């Protein structure tokens, strides 16, 4: 089973990389860009279990390691 | 009265810490991160570097190193635990200190002396300093920007300017009990006139003071 996990920094936490990229886009003339946020995407392959079991397992992985609960949220998508 | 200086794969400031502490009359020994007990030690320093290559997030992998359970027990027991630079990042990831460290505001790796001011002397890293005392020690980090969504973190040392965007200009943060402290700049690199400053001694002396049995 392929799983896509997207980890996003919460909106209230600064994203210095996003801010710098926005500035660069403005320098290139794309002044209509008002916000840039940089997320992380993980592509996992996990064996065994039902969809629910796999989702639970990946959720545990997110809470333990893939996301930092102080800063980040995550979204799990099972890829058919 | 021996301090364990933990070495993770990628740690690179461990010898600086041992040398600086030994010069000040302390006793410190290197301890590999795969060890699971710290029974022969009474305090811990997590030194700077790039533990586990900083993969994923700084400190994210290191916090699961076998030694960290023992470090966590030390913290709970009120024993002195200090993280310097990468060690600070590891303590935050481990949940032993509040907040987290993200990339510097200007996305630059900062490597220069900074002036800091001690704002809280009730911790194992600041008890030998005076409140308001200004010290000059080197900062050497990319992820030195401390964020604290709760707004309740105990900031004990502040930058006098704002080099990296850190909340409340925090250079060092402590837990409520004051026995766990993370500091972003490097006191151990400012302990000999040859290095340009000896101001780091105030922090390391505090740490050594805290080891004297009550």
ipTM: 0.88
Question: pTM for this structure?
Answer: 0.95
Distant-in-sequence, close-in-space partners of A21: CB < 8 Å, separation ≥ 6: A36, A38
Residue B135 predicted with pLDDT over 70? yes
B145 interface with A at CB cutoff 8 Å: yes
The pLDDT score that the predictor gives to residue A48 is: 86
Q: Which of B61, B64, B104 sits opposite A16 (nearest CB)?
A: B104
The pLDDT score that the predictor gives to residue B214 is: 44
The pLDDT score that the predictor gives to residue B116 is: 98
Per-residue pLDDT, averaged over B136-148, amounts to: 98
| Best A16, A22, A65 residue to mutate vs chain B (most B CBs within 10 Å) | A16
- Six-digit token string for B212: 């004297």
Q: Which of B98, B102, B149 sits opposite A16 (nearest CB)?
A: B102
Contact list, A14 vs chain B (CB under 8 Å): 102, 105, 145, 147, 165
B143 interface with A at CB cutoff 8 Å: no
Per-residue pLDDT, averaged over B101-127, amounts to: 97
Per-residue pLDDT, averaged over B129-133, amounts to: 98
Which residue is listed with tokens 């008002």?
A34
What confidence tens digit (pLDDT) does each residue in B49-107 have? Answer: 999 999 999 999 999 999 999 999 999 999 999 999 999 999 999 999 999 999 999 99
Q: Tell me the torsion sign for CA atoms B165, B7, B194, B118.
A: positive
Contact list, A65 vs chain B (CB under 8 Å): 56, 60-61, 64
Interface contact A14-B105, CB threshold 8 A = yes
The pLDDT score that the predictor gives to residue A80 is: 84
Residue B128 predicted with pLDDT over 50? yes
Q: Which residues of B are catalytic?
A: 85, 186, 188
Contact list, B107 vs chain A (CB under 8 Å): 16-17, 20
Share above pLDDT 90 across residues of chain B, in percent, rounded to a whole number: 96
Residue B205 predicted with pLDDT over 50? yes
The pLDDT score that the predictor gives to residue B132 is: 98
Q: How confident is the model at residue B213 (pLDDT cuts 50, 70, 90)?
A: low
What confidence tens digit (pLDDT) does each residue in A2-31 have? Answer: 999 999 999 999 999 999 999 999 999 999
Q: How confident is the model at residue B14 (pLDDT cuts 50, 70, 90)?
A: very high
């Amino acid at each position: 089973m392929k799983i896509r996990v997207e980890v996003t920094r919460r909106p209230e936490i600064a994203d210095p990389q996003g801010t710098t990229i926005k500035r660069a886009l403005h320098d290139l003339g794309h002044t209509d860009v008002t916000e840039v946020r940089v997320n992380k995407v993980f592509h996992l392959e996990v064996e065994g279990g039902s969809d629910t079991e796999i989702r639970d397992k990946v959720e545990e992985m997110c809470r333990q390691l893939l996301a930092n609960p102080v800063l980040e949220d995550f979204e799990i998508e099972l890829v058919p | 009265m021996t301090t364990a200086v933990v070495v993770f794969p990628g740690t690179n400031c461990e010898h600086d810490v041992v040398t600086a502490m030994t010069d000040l009359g302390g006793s410190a020994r290197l301890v590999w991160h795969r060890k699971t007990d710290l029974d022969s030690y009474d305090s811990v320093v997590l030194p700077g570097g790039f533990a586990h290559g900083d993969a994923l997030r700084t400190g994210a992998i290191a916090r699961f190193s076998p030694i960290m359970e023992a470090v966590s027990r030390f913290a709970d027991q009120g024993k002195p635990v200090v993280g310097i630079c990468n060690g600070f990042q590891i303590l935050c990831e481990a949940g032993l200190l509040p907040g987290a460290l993200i990339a510097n505001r200007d996305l630059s790796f900062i490597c220069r002396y900074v002036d800091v001011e001690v704002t809280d002397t009730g911790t194992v890293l600041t008890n030998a300093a005076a409140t308001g005392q200004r010290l000059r020690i080197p900062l050497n980090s990319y992820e030195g920007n401390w964020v604290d969504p709760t707004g309740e973190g105990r900031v004990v040392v502040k930058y006098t300017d704002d080099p990296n965007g850190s909340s409340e200009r925090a250079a060092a943060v402590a837990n409520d009990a004051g026995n766990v402290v993370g500091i972003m700049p490097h006191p151990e690199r400012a302990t000999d006139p040859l290095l340009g400053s000896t101001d780091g001694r105030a922090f390391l002396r505090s740490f050594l003071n805290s080891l004297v049995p009550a």
